[in-house]
Structure 1
Amino acid sequence: MDTATHITMGVAVGGLATVDPAVQQDPSLFQAVLIGSIIGSHAPDFDTLFKFKDNATYIRHHRGISHSPIAVLLWSLLVSGSIYLFYLDTSFLHLWLWVLLAVILHVFVDIFNPYGTQALRPFVNRWIAIGFINTFDPFIFSLYLAGIIAWLLGANPRYTFLIVLFVVVLYHIKRYLDKREIVKKMKDHFDHVERVVTQPTIRHNIWRVAVITKEYFFVARSENGHIEIKDKFERKPLPDTAEMNAALQDKNVKAFINFSPVYRYEIDRFDDYTEIRFIDLRYRAKGRYPFVAVVALDKFYNVITSYTGWVYSEDKLQKKLEPLT
């Protein structure tokens, strides 16, 4: 989820913590739990700092080991331990348990996004992305925000956030059923479907869909239950050539392939260099596919330049590949 939703969810956990008699009866512990829940609900996303290094590092590691079971435990101990230094007369156990819940919820809700997480590392390194809740869902954010406002106006936080969480759970079930219906339609329409990748948008009734069949990739849009096929690409395996093998060793390409479940590639040969472009098919917007990895190789298959990330015009992409301009 996005930062704003994680923070409001942390406030909800802090309000819900008043069901705990120890928290309810100790104002200092309540204050510590509220602060800890807010920080803990965002803590796994501190790995956003990888963005300051480069896109490849960010894409490869964001929501990776920082969202693993070991990291969840470490985040909860780090956050609750740091806060406890200012609340030494309170119960560390109760503080830690509520912070732990906030961190667990952060990782848990992230698996429902198309981006997903590596929530089972180091046991399983694959990305878990169920793909039926958008990274920012206005309905979920509004529910948490409404609960917070009701609390500020005097509503009982225990009952308020129990109701909010109950509605959020029902909403997740509804969105799962929406996705299942889309997947069923795709499997009924196409032969030999191997996988259907769904990408919900900020608009509740619109989904982006990528379908992998034995021979083709199909890119579709679902709006109000109506499916429209936007693009069709032949599914070609990566060739076992010197230039492709060289490209696959580039860090930007490695990060892209590690992250993307459905992509195609293009090879363009020029007088002085060869460009290989990998294109993620999940993010079609305004006729373009903005999430790409591009690598340029000289005639000896040395990398001249490379890039991975989101770019929304060819001009901007070329500026990223500065040595070629």
Structure 2
Amino acid sequence: MDTGTHVVMGFAIGGLATLDPVVAESTATSQSILIASLIGSQIPDIDTVLKLRNNAVYIRHHRGITHSIPAVILWPLVILAVIYPFFPEANLLHLWLWTFGAVILHVFVDIFNAYGTQALRPFSSKWVALGVINTFDPFIFGIHIVGLILWGFDFHPGYTFIAIYFVIFIYYLIRFQVQHAVKTAVKKRIPNAEKIIVSPTIKFYQWRLAIITREHFYVARAYGRSITIFDEYKRVEIPDHAVIHAAKHDKNLAAFLSFSPVYRWEIDEYEDFYEVKFIDLRYRSNGHYPFVAVVQLDNEFNIVGSYTGWIFSEEKLRKKLEIIPD
């Protein structure tokens, strides 16, 4: 989820904690839990700082080890080490339990996005991405804001957020049903679909689709059960070519391939260099595919430039690569 939603969920955990009798009887415990819950609802995303290094490192590691099982166990202990000295009268066990709950909730809700997490590490490096909730969901964020407003008007925060989370649970079930209906509609339209990658959008009934068959890739959009196909590409295996083998040693392309489940590729040969481009088919926007990996190699197949990330114009891509072909 987005940062704002994680923040309001941190407040929600603090509100739910007031139902705990031990917390309700101790001001120090309730205050420390609210602060720890806000930190716990954010700390798994500390790997966002990797973007300052480069996109390849960020793409390969974001929502990776920081969302793993060992991290979920470790983060509450780190937070307690920071928070508890300021609240020595707080109940340590209950402070840990609610902080642990905030961290778990963060990782759990991220699983439902299209991006997903590596929440099963170290047992599996597979990305768990259920693709039913958009990274920012207006309903989920909005209903949390309603809960915080009611809390401000002296409604009991524990009972308020229990009711809200029951509503959100029903909302998730409905989203799964809508996603299933979309996949069923795709199967009717393209019976030979081998894999259907469904990505939610900010609009409730709109979904991005990347569909894989034995011979083709389809890029489509669903509105309810109505499927609109925008692009169709012949599915061509990556060639056994020296320039491809050399390009795969590039860190940017390696990061792209570790993350993208469906893409097409291009090889362009210029007078003094080659350009290899991989294009993710999941993120079509206004007729453009912004998530790419590009590697440029000289005639001896030495890598001379590369980039991976979201680019919305060819000019910006050329500036990133610092090589502009004639």
TM-score (normalised: structure 1):
0.98
Q: Residue 316 of structure 1 aligns to which amino acid in structure 2?
A: K
Q: Please identify runs of 4+ aligned residues in structure 1 that moved more than 3 A.
A: none
Q: Which residue of 2 aligns with 1:80?
A: 80
* CA distance in 1: counterparts of 2:3 and 2:25, whole angstroms: 31
* CA distance in 1: counterparts of 2:197 and 2:283, whole angstroms: 11
Q: Which residue of 2 aligns with 1:234?
A: 234
* CA distance in 1: counterparts of 2:128 and 2:291, whole angstroms: 19
Q: 1:240 Cα deviation (Å)?
A: 1.6
Q: How does 1:286-297 map to 2 (within 5 A)?
A: 286-297=286-297
* CA distance in 1: counterparts of 2:179 and 2:277, whole angstroms: 30
3-state secondary structure, aligned to 2:86: coil
* CA distance in 1: counterparts of 2:323 and 2:310, whole angstroms: 19
Q: Which residue of 2 aligns with 1:71?
A: 71
**Paired residues of 1:32 and 1:84 also in contact (CA < 8 A):** yes
Q: Residue 62 of structure 1 aligns to which amino acid in structure 2?
A: H
The reply on whether 1:190 has 2:208 as its aligned counterpart is: no
* CA distance in 2: counterparts of 1:28 and 1:214, whole angstroms: 61
Q: Residue 155 of structure 2 aligns to which amino acid in structure 1?
A: A
* CA distance in 2: counterparts of 1:225 and 1:195, whole angstroms: 18
3-state secondary structure, aligned to 1:232: strand
* CA distance in 1: counterparts of 2:261 and 2:130, whole angstroms: 12
Q: How does 1:169-318 map to 2 (within 5 A)?
A: 169-318=169-318
Q: Which residue of 2 aligns with 1:58?
A: 58
The reply on whether 1:6 has 2:6 as its aligned counterpart is: yes
Q: Residue 226 of structure 1 aligns to which amino acid in structure 2?
A: S
What number of residue pairs does the alignment pair up?
325
Show structure 1 runs of 5+ residues with no match: none
Q: 1:158 Cα deviation (Å)?
A: 1.2
Q: Which residue of 2 aligns with 1:165?
A: 165
Q: How does 1:70-149 map to 2 (within 5 A)?
A: 70-149=70-149
**Paired residues of 1:191 and 1:213 also in contact (CA < 8 A):** no
3-state secondary structure, aligned to 1:85: helix
Q: 1:194 Cα deviation (Å)?
A: 1.6
Show structure 2 runs of 5+ residues with no match: none
- The percentage of counterpart residues that share the same residue type is 52
Q: Which residue of 1 aligns with 2:319?
A: 319
Q: 1:183 Cα deviation (Å)?
A: 0.9
TM-score (normalised: structure 2):
0.98
Q: Which residue of 1 aligns with 2:39?
A: 39
**Paired residues of 2:178 and 2:224 also in contact (CA < 8 A):** no
**Paired residues of 1:304 and 1:323 also in contact (CA < 8 A):** no
CA deviation string 1:83-136 (max 9, x = no partner):
111111111110011000000010000011011000001110011111110000
Q: Residue 23 of structure 2 aligns to which amino acid in structure 1?
A: V
Q: 1:315 Cα deviation (Å)?
A: 1.0
Q: 1:191 Cα deviation (Å)?
A: 3.4
Q: Residue 16 of structure 1 aligns to which amino acid in structure 2?
A: L
Q: 1:53 Cα deviation (Å)?
A: 0.4
Q: Residue 99 of structure 1 aligns to which amino acid in structure 2?
A: T
Q: 1:204 Cα deviation (Å)?
A: 1.5
Q: 1:187 Cα deviation (Å)?
A: 1.7
CA deviation string 1:267-302 (max 9, x = no partner):
111111111110000100000000000000111111
* CA distance in 2: counterparts of 1:261 and 1:212, whole angstroms: 10
Q: Which residue of 2 aligns with 1:28?
A: 28
**Paired residues of 2:185 and 2:226 also in contact (CA < 8 A):** no
**Paired residues of 1:63 and 1:116 also in contact (CA < 8 A):** yes
Q: Residue 175 of structure 1 aligns to which amino acid in structure 2?
A: R
**Paired residues of 1:65 and 1:118 also in contact (CA < 8 A):** yes
3-state secondary structure, aligned to 1:193: coil
